[in-house]
Amino acid sequence: MSAAFSSRLALSRHEVDRDYLTRTQPQLFESLWENPATRVLLLWNGQALLSGDALDLRPVPSVPDVELLLYLGLDTRATPFIAAILSDDAAASLGADAVWGNLRTLGATLSDLETGLFTEALALANWHDAHRFSPRTGQPTVPALGGWVRRPETMTDATVKSHDLFPRTDAAIIVAVTDADDRILLGSNALWSTNRFSLLAGFVEPGESVESAVVREVFEESGVRVTNPEYLGSQPWPFPASLMLGFRATVDPDQVSVLTPDGDEILELRWFSRAELAASLDEIVLPGATSIARAILEEWFGGPISQDRQW
């Protein structure tokens, strides 16, 4: 991954030492709660509390009652950071003037430290929300180790570690498909409005390499056979739990391809030259600056794409 490309990946930015050894300390949050240097990121409904254009990273005394605490790590000055998940009532207690922001909108404008904290906290919070019960026993689970493990609450000490649940990330590929004329293939998803276009993407299936997933997903969604998948870089995408693996690939000249939207996920496909894409910016909407899709598009385009409308 080139430095120029990696600099475009908004949610890959970070300045946090995740300090994994501290997670094992007994009474971790009691100790952190007594530390005047500790700062707390407040999350509610997938949004973070803001102060102006930045995260409102609060000292402990100004934090309302919380549902869940997550240890995020340390910055370069050894400041500890915690994420606190709030209930509706706790969020309301902050007052009508409290301003909340989402990562899709803010990810490209926050500082490296704030972006890393928000991305880590949101991904971890989404995992906790989806794993309230053990898939092995069906028993309710409770957080442990600073929020980085969940365990069945009724298990004994002798067996609990064998039932530990750890955070999971779903691997997904996203691909810049180009043809012999270096045009790029964009598709419009069935879940989007008809004028939104992005790169083709999909999840890696069990027992499949990421390169094989590139070839399979592109063919399934577009009818196009590609070759030579080339890895570009990755970015976390905690909506709710993905890691986006960016690739470029070219149309295979030795196989017949018939451009065919699958009709299920992809409803429309279009090839764009650079000039055609630039001329279409008033009629189509491209992915927002927070996404790896935008970074890959601009890597192919040769520079920033100026468009006020984005998602």
- CATH number of the CATH domain containing 205: 3.90.79.10
Q: What is the pLDDT of residue 160?
A: 56
Q: What is the pLDDT of residue 311?
A: 55
Q: What is the pLDDT of residue 1?
A: 60
Same-domain status, 126 and 206: no
Q: Which residues pair with 161 in a beta bridge?
A: none
Last residue of a domain, one of 130, 155, 190: 130
pLDDT values of the chain reduced to their tens digit, one per residue, 311 residues: 666 788 889 999 999 999 999 999 999 999 999 999 999 999 999 999 999 999 999 999 999 999 999 999 999 999 999 999 999 999 999 999 999 999 999 999 999 999 999 999 999 999 999 999 998 888 899 999 999 999 988 765 555 556 899 999 999 999 999 999 999 999 999 888 779 999 999 999 999 999 999 999 999 999 999 999 999 999 999 999 999 999 999 999 999 999 999 999 999 999 999 999 999 999 999 999 999 999 999 999 999 998 766 55
Q: What is the pLDDT of residue 136?
A: 85
Q: Is residue 163 part of a domain?
A: no
Q: What is the pLDDT of residue 154?
A: 74
pTM: 0.94
Residue 71 sits in which domain range? Answer: 3-130
Torsion angle, CA of 151/157/163/168, rounded to 10 degrees? 40
Q: What is the pLDDT of residue 159?
A: 56
Q: What is the pLDDT of residue 156?
A: 57
Same-domain status, 242 and 294: yes
Q: What is the pLDDT of residue 153?
A: 83
Q: Is residue 200 part of a domain?
A: yes
Same-domain status, 201 and 270: yes
Q: Is residue 12 part of a domain?
A: yes
**205 CB neighbour count, 10 Å cutoff:** 11
Same-domain status, 52 and 126: yes
Distance separating alpha carbons of residues 100 and 98, to the nearest angstrom: 7
Are 27 and 69 spatial neighbours (Cβ–Cβ below 8 Å)? no
Q: What is the pLDDT of residue 155?
A: 62
Same-domain status, 88 and 179: no
Same-domain status, 174 and 126: no
Q: Is residue 309 part of a domain?
A: no
Q: Is residue 138 part of a domain?
A: no
Q: Is residue 216 part of a domain?
A: yes
Q: What is the pLDDT of residue 152?
A: 87
Cis ω on the peptide bond leading into residue 240 (within 30° of 0)? Answer: yes
Q: What is the pLDDT of residue 66?
A: 96
How many domains does the chain contain in total? 2
Same-domain status, 125 and 33: yes
Same-domain status, 125 and 196: no
Q: Is residue 110 part of a domain?
A: yes
Q: Is residue 307 part of a domain?
A: no
Q: What is the pLDDT of residue 308?
A: 64
Last residue of a domain, one of 81, 108, 130: 130
Which tokens hold the place of 282?
A: 């008033």
Same-domain status, 13 and 89: yes
Last residue of a domain, one of 103, 130, 157: 130
Same-domain status, 73 and 123: yes
Same-domain status, 123 and 221: no
Q: Is 295 exposed, middle or buried (0-12, 13-18, 19+ CB in 10 A)?
A: buried
Same-domain status, 97 and 181: no
- Which residues make Cβ contacts (< 8 Å) with residue 107, sequence separation at least 6? 10, 11, 115, 118, 119, 289, 290
